[in-house]
Structure 1
């Protein structure tokens, strides 16, 4: 049956965690036991996903004391003793960026400038944690808020064309660190963990720097945002190329000329999201939400933006992978919960609709409920979804039996 997004038509789940082979950007071939057709899915021949395999590498094969010594060597190279900033830490003041900036400043003696690409719509707890990052955590911060009119337009396009409302935000969030570092004469940028840890190209886990492929050359007018080139957006709107400046990645050549390098702290220190949370609570005034996030059981991860939960809801529609799947998978790998518990949590929460901020989301991207439903239903891949008694149901769900069961 047809897959709309190039994911494997045969659906299976990791035997160790609860992620499926539908997760995008997987790269390793795996042969299904009932077919000789190879499927690109990031699983090995034993049905274990790349992220779970790397978690074992982290636990057993990496000398973390040696990695920390390499971190200190790196920081000493860029350390300034004249009162100037010597490292940029991008983030929102969430648990991960709060951990990164605080430990760099108070354990390793760096002078970080924290920079933030503003959320679409701050939540109350998100704004509180952001301000606590400076007021309690003790950091200087630059809050960058992109052209709101353009950002709303791009978010709308991304939802309607890609069912990916977070795409423009992700682009801006990823380049704001290098851009502002170059502007302020700071050579080192430090992000938290590398997303490769969760199932992207596993080879990236063994490189401490951000993939240079992201910093592309070429005509910026051909860059696509929301599924449409900047050139075509300009043709059909009042926006100019200058309006898109914060979204256009700097070239690798430009960063090299400016002597800007981008590293991941998770390469040097053993990264554990739960431990980051405990550290941030103790040291930066970070607070979990008073209620769990719709679509999952967690109260402390990605809680600063009202649009964030619609990002995860759309991954559930396109790939059958919701927020609870992502949360449970990493907690299984880190030994916080069992796979059996993860299966229960996924089946209980993954399909939950984020009703709380639905009205805000519709108003933000200027569509009505009917258009939302139409767009979502058109994005359901036939190999994942079927209608039963006029209700959409996933054809396959994770279970405790084995990773091929429906």
Structure 2
């Protein structure tokens, strides 16, 4: 029986033969182009292996990391300044990955980084503590905090229309650093991990650069911009006039090209390992893991700790695509050789979809919704090919296997 699918998902569910990711997992694309919740999905080969696993195999055996470091040394030499001014911008929150990147650039490669942080919706205590410890380890910072009223409205719209409450954060995460780079005249930006290592097509890993389409538009006449599924010209009707949207608007491509802005991924230059980054950050910047022992919805304790809405991001992902936070963590750990696929299956089936109750009240207050409306929106996002009902309980039809 052919069931209707939502969100542009493939009807047949396939799990990667090496990791635990399914072909329902969304890929990354420019957020400001999204009119609806429809999205592209992770790339799979005819052999049932996802591109992320294929690249992990390639990375382990075919990349000359000494040659990649030479490329990094040449990049740093080209941008390094001798007058004391900043020569590289590192976007981050003070999590394990941004600590690793900034510390490496400053203390190993002699660069002078300026950190740029797009503020979380609502800081967690551990997130704020890790952010402060990051700066105390020797870094200047620009903390970009958007208008809280506008940000909460945009989060509400993104939840109601896309069932993606994290969209406003993702927008700023991509745009804030290039905007600061233009303002400070610092052409080099260094992010951590290329998303293609996890879920986009394999070919994106062979360039160190972020595609400029993620943070630019051709001109001011390009009005095909959507925020929470709402066209830019209609945002004022929802309480966010154009003059309050500056932090979310993509930069003009001409300005970025003229300033010679280059947005690189550190994962191109060094063998990227979240677990290694955790121990590195703990040693060099007093980074602390989740004080609860693990994060809701997964078994891990050291990723995505700074925002009280993080849990809703992963839970809504689970509802829409049938896989969530534990899948993300298990796939990475399998590819890095820390756990087996069999262990990953067990962990996903145990933790994926666990409801993030700790900050649920904070989320409802932030977006101005009651619990009944919340569940109405969430349940409406369940695709019939992924979900069924057993009495009054929703049941996932395709458990990780």
- TM-score (norm: length of structure 1): 0.93
Residues 349 and 92 of structure 1, relative CA distance in 2, 3 Å threshold = same
Alpha-carbon distance between aligned partners in 1 of 2:125 and 2:41, rounded to the nearest angstrom: 41
- The answer to whether the 8 A contact 1:159-1:226 is kept is yes
User: Partner of 2:138: helix, strand, or coil?
Assistant: coil
- The answer to whether the 8 A contact 1:3-1:381 is kept is yes
Q: Could you tell me which residue of structure 1 aligns to residue 373 of structure 2?
A: 371
Structure 1 runs of 4+ aligned residues shifted over 6 Å read none
Match of 1:225 among 220, 224, 227: 227
Alpha-carbon distance between aligned partners in 1 of 2:135 and 2:328, rounded to the nearest angstrom: 29
Residue 96 of structure 1 pairs with residue 97 of structure 2: yes
Q: Could you tell me which residue of structure 2 aligns to residue 20 of structure 1?
A: 22
Equivalences for residues 3-402 of structure 1 within 5 A: 3-25=5-27, 42-135=43-136, 137-214=137-214, 215-218=216-219, 219=221, 221-234=223-236, 236-291=237-292, 292-399=294-401
1:168 CA displacement: 1.1
- The answer to whether the 8 A contact 1:88-1:189 is kept is yes
Alpha-carbon distance between aligned partners in 1 of 2:61 and 2:28, rounded to the nearest angstrom: 23
- The answer to whether the 8 A contact 1:120-1:307 is kept is yes
Structure 1, unmatched stretches of 5+, are 28-38, 400-406
1:299 CA displacement: 0.9
Alpha-carbon distance between aligned partners in 1 of 2:243 and 2:122, rounded to the nearest angstrom: 24
What whole-Å deviation, never above 9, does each CA across 1:44-92 have from its counterpart, x for those lacking one?
Answer: 1221111000001110011010000000000100000110000000000
What whole-Å deviation, never above 9, does each CA across 1:201-235 have from its counterpart, x for those lacking one?
Answer: 2211011111022222244654111000121011x
Q: Could you tell me which residue of structure 2 aligns to residue 33 of structure 1?
A: none
Alpha-carbon distance between aligned partners in 1 of 2:343 and 2:383, rounded to the nearest angstrom: 28
- The answer to whether the 8 A contact 1:26-1:42 is kept is no
- TM-score (norm: length of structure 2): 0.94
Structure 2, unmatched stretches of 5+, are 30-39
Residues 104 and 314 of structure 1, relative CA distance in 2, 3 Å threshold = same
- The answer to whether the 8 A contact 1:91-1:114 is kept is yes
CA RMSD in angstroms comes to: 1.4
Residues 132 and 40 of structure 1, relative CA distance in 2, 3 Å threshold = closer
Residues 237 and 22 of structure 1, relative CA distance in 2, 3 Å threshold = closer
User: Partner of 1:19: helix, strand, or coil?
Assistant: coil
Number of matched pairs: 386
